[in-house]
Amino acid sequence: MDDTKVTQSGFLGLEFIEPGDCCFYTNPHGFIALRLNGKDYPRVKLTRAYPYTEPFAYIGIEETDDKEIGMLKNAEELPAEQFSLVRKELESRYFCPVITEVLSFKEKMGHFYFEVKIGEHKTNFAVRDISRNVRTLPDGTTLIFDMDGNRYSIPDLEKIDSKNRRKIEPFLY
């Protein structure tokens, strides 16, 4: 636990990576890489500690073998071009298709079949055990996990057409 220290109040504090000490760049294969205090990490993984409430803060930086290098308290404090690199990496890593329209919603034998539109693309998926696999986030976003482990999000349920919304709503907690 080399990045924790005891603060004056007797409580554990956390040492973050200083935005000035690090430099993100893209390696020749297109992966994000990091130079920290003169040391090069040819490929790093970025992980969100609080993916929903703090998407660009508390970013864990790990080596490819999951060993943590450190944590960035706020990626937005990085210089603009570096932040956009980090942002791009995080957004691609945490990509979650946004459902723009629910075309139909049916229940059959305990399985829930969705036919949805993601942008202009039509798709369908099935959800089992809806109480476990649908989650509403504090900001009102609804996340749906399908049987194959894919996740979909509905940022604003109000925008889904009312007929299908009324069908879905009783199953949301």
Please choose, out of 21-29, 32-40, 98-106, 127-135, the segment that lies near another protein by the rule CB under 8 A. Answer: 127-135
3-state SS string for 134-155: EEECCCCCEEEECCCCCEEEEC
CA distances from 55 to 60, 72, 91, 113 (A): 11, 12, 9, 30
- The token pair at 162 is 């009312």
150 binds another protein (CB under 8 A): no
Give the nearer residue to another protein in terms of CB position, either 25 or 50. Answer: 50
Report if residue 170 touches another protein, rule: CB under 8 A: no
| Residue 4 interacts with another protein (CB under 8 A): yes or no | yes
Site string for another protein, 7-26 (x = CB under 8 A): --xxxxxx-x----------
| 57 lines the binding site for another protein (CB under 8 A) | yes
How would DSSP label each residue in 8-32?
A: TTSSEEEPPBPGGGEEEEE-TTS-E
Amino acid at 67: K
User: Per-residue x/- mask for another protein, residues 82 to 121, rule CB under 8 A?
Assistant: ----------------------------------------
The reply on whether position 49 binds another protein by CB under 8 A is yes
The reply to whether 51 sits near another protein by the rule CB under 8 A is: yes
- d(CA 146, CA 169) in angstroms, rounded, equals 17
**Contacts of the segment 154-160: beta carbons below 8 A, 24+ positions apart:** 154/98, 154/99, 154/102, 155/98, 159/100, 160/99, 160/101, 160/102
Shortest distance, position 68 Cβ to another protein, whole Å = 7
* Interface with another protein: number of residues (CB under 8 A): 31
Residues forming contacts to another protein in the complex (CB under 8 A) are 1, 3-6, 9-14, 16, 47-54, 57-58, 60, 62, 66, 68, 71, 73, 131-132, 135
